[in-house]
Amino acid sequence: MTTPLVLRANAELVTAAYVRTIVAAFSTAVGAVLQGPDDQGVVQWGPTGFVQFTTISDPINLTVPLRHSVVSLDIWAANTGSSKKPPWNLAYSIAETIIEAQFDREWGDNHAVVSLPAGYPDARVTEFSIANGPKRTPSDQSDFAHLTMECGISWHGLSA
């Protein structure tokens, strides 16, 4: 009989859970994979935006189980109407909401516990900061507004 693998927190799961707490009130979608249009050609997240994340760096401290990850955030917005003009105002509003969240708590005293997917123990975020402000990414054929920015997130997994 084999022992099942223990599910553990990782930088992308923690970042997704933390960013979701920031943008949830606005129904902004958060995920690792940008969702395309549905069968009717409608981008469901278009009116509220989408935040995608990719780990850039995830150094491991050999003496303390605290991670200081650097994660790229891609902020997407799409027009769902007849306009082909990318909704830059929506993309920037999402980005600035995430930036403003770093000032909501006393510097260095975050300690927010985030819930991870079923089967994973929760994690504690001890610090969240934006390393670089939003930058426009050239539009593709779909005319989405696309911004990128990098954040630093310090965290550790909690015991199950």
Residue 121 lies inside a defined structural domain of this protein: yes
pLDDT exceeds cutoff 90 at 111: no
pLDDT exceeds cutoff 60 at 109: no
Q: What total number of domains does the chain contain?
A: 1
pLDDT tens sequence across 16-69 = 999 999 999 899 999 999 888 888 878 889 889 999 999 999 998 889 889 999
Residue 41 lies inside a defined structural domain of this protein: yes
- Structure token digits, residue 87: 């909704």
Residue 6 lies inside a defined structural domain of this protein: no
Return mean pLDDT, the chain. Answer: 89
Q: Using DSSP, how many helices (H) and how many strands (E) does the chain show?
A: 2, 6
Residue 54 lies inside a defined structural domain of this protein: yes
pLDDT computed for residue 143 by the predictor: 77
Beta strands per DSSP E along 58-158? 67-77, 112-114, 123-136, 145-157
Residue 81: domain span? 11-157
CATH number of the CATH domain containing 68: 3.30.2000.30
Separation between Cα atoms, residue 57 and residue 74, nearest integer Å: 16
